[in-house]
Amino acid sequence: MSQHDLYERFLALHQRPNAFVMPNAWDGGSALFMKEAGFESLGTSSAALAASLGRVDGRHTVSREEHLAHAQLLTRITGLPVNGDFEDGYGDTPDDVAATVKAAIDAGLAGIGIEDTSGNPGKPIRDFDEAVARVAAAAKVAKGKIVLTGRTDNYLHGRPDLDDTIRRLTAFADVGADVLYAPYPSDMSHVVAIVKAVAPKPVNLVVGTMAGTVPLAELQAAGVKRVSMGASLYMRMLGDLRRAMEQLKAGDLAKGAEGASFGELVKLLTAAPEA
Q: In the chain, pLDDT over 90 holds for what percent of residues?
A: 98
> What does the pLDDT look like over 203-249, one tens digit per residue?
999 999 999 999 999 999 999 999 999 999 999 999 999 999 999 99
**CA of 67: how far to CAs of 74, 85, 112, 274, in Å?**
11, 9, 11, 20
> What does the pLDDT look like over 182-216, one tens digit per residue?
999 999 999 999 999 999 999 999 999 999 999 99
Q: Tell whether the model's pLDDT for residue 45 goes beyond 90.
A: yes
Residue 15: the pLDDT is 97
Domains of the chain listed by start with CATH number: 3-231+262-271 (3.20.20.60)
Instruction: Select from 192, 210, 207, 118 the least CA-distant residue to 155.
Output: 210
* CA 88 and chain centroid, separation: 12
Q: Tell me what the pLDDT averaged over the chain comes to.
A: 97
Q: Tell whether the model's pLDDT for residue 16 goes beyond 70.
A: yes
**DSSP calls for 137-159:** HHHHHHTTTSEEEEE--TGGGT-
Q: What is the mean pLDDT of residues 13-40?
A: 98
Q: What is the mean pLDDT of residues 84-93?
A: 96
Q: What is the mean pLDDT of residues 105-126?
A: 97
Vertex 51: Cα angle to 48 and 54 (nearest 5) = 155
Q: Tell whether the model's pLDDT for residue 275 goes beyond 90.
A: no
Q: What is the mean pLDDT of residues 18-22?
A: 97
Q: How confident is the model at residue 131 (pLDDT cuts 50, 70, 90)?
A: very high
Bridge partners of residue 112, in order along the sequence:
84, 148
Q: Tell whether the model's pLDDT for residue 273 goes beyond 90.
A: no
Q: Tell whether the model's pLDDT for residue 274 goes beyond 90.
A: no
Q: What is the mean pLDDT of residues 23-38?
A: 98
> What does the pLDDT look like over 47-65, one tens digit per residue?
999 999 999 999 899 999 9
Burial of 184 (0-12, 13-18, 19+ CB in 10 A): buried
User: Can you give the pTM of this predicted structure?
Assistant: 0.96
Residue 26: the pLDDT is 98
